[in-house]
Amino acid sequence: MATIVLNWELGAALGHVGRYLTIALQLRAQGHRPVLVLRDISRAEAVLGPHAIEFLQAPVWLTPVQGLPPDLNFTETLYRFGFLKADGLLSIARAWRSLWTLLRPDLMLFDHAPTALLAARGFDVARVIVGNSFAVPPRVRPLPRYRWWANGAGDHHRLAETEERTTRNCNAVLKELGAPLIAQVADLFEAEATYLCARPRLDVYGERADANYIGPVNSLSMGSGPVWPAGDAPPVFAYLKSDYKHLDAVLGAIGKSRARYLIYAAGLPEQLRKRHESARVAFSATPLQMSEVVKQCAAIICHAGGMSDIALDHGKPLLLLPTQMEQTMTSHRVEALGAGVLLAPDGNPALLPKLLRRLLDDESLAARAVEYAAQLSSIDQSLAVGRLVEGCEALLSGGANADAKARAQ
User: Tell me, what DSSP letter sits at residue 203?
Assistant: -
List, in sequence order, the alpha helices (H) in 238-380: 247-255, 270-276, 290-296, 306-313, 325-337, 352-361, 363-374
How does pLDDT run across 69-103, given as a tens digit for each residue? Answer: 999 999 999 999 999 999 999 999 999 999 999 99
The model carries a pTM of 0.91
- Among 298, 266, 305, CA closest to 283: 266
- Which amino acid would we find at residue 352? L
How does pLDDT run across 134-151, given as a tens digit for each residue? Answer: 999 999 999 999 999 999
Q: What number of other Cβ atoms are within 10 A of residue 225's Cβ?
A: 11
How does pLDDT run across 163-215, given as a tens digit for each residue? Answer: 999 999 999 999 999 999 999 999 999 999 999 999 999 999 999 999 999 99
Domains and CATH numbers, the chain: 3-219+379-408 (3.40.50.2000), 235-374 (3.40.50.2000)
**CA atoms of 277 and 255, how far apart (whole Å):** 8
Residue partners of 10: CB distance under 8 A and separation at least 6: 39, 81, 112, 113, 114, 135
User: Tell me, what DSSP letter sits at residue 278?
Assistant: -
Q: Give the pLDDT band (50/70/90) at residue 64.
A: very high
**CA atoms of 284 and 184, how far apart (whole Å):** 46
Q: How many CA atoms lie within 13 A of 5 on its CB side?
A: 26
Which phi and psi angles does 278 have, rounded to 5°?
Answer: -160, -170
Max Cα-Cα span within the chain: 66
- 315 close to 374: Cβ distance less than 8 angstroms: yes
**pLDDT at residue number 406:** 44
For every residue of 313-340, DSSP letters joined together read: HTT--EEE---SHHHHHHHHHHHHHTSE
**pLDDT at residue number 219:** 78
Q: What number of other Cβ atoms are within 10 A of residue 351's Cβ?
A: 15
Residue 403 has pLDDT above 70, yes or no: no
How does pLDDT run across 347-401, given as a tens digit for each residue? Answer: 999 999 999 999 999 999 999 999 999 999 889 999 999 999 999 999 999 865 5
**Angle (nearest 5°) at CA 62 between 266 and 138:** 85
**pLDDT at residue number 408:** 37
Mean residue pLDDT of the chain comes to: 94
- 242 close to 267: Cβ distance less than 8 angstroms: yes
**pLDDT at residue number 222:** 79
Residue partners of 266: CB distance under 8 A and separation at least 6: 241, 242, 287
Q: Positive or negative, the Cα torsion across 133, 134, 137, 138?
A: positive
**pLDDT at residue number 117:** 98
**CA atoms of 138 and 189, how far apart (whole Å):** 9
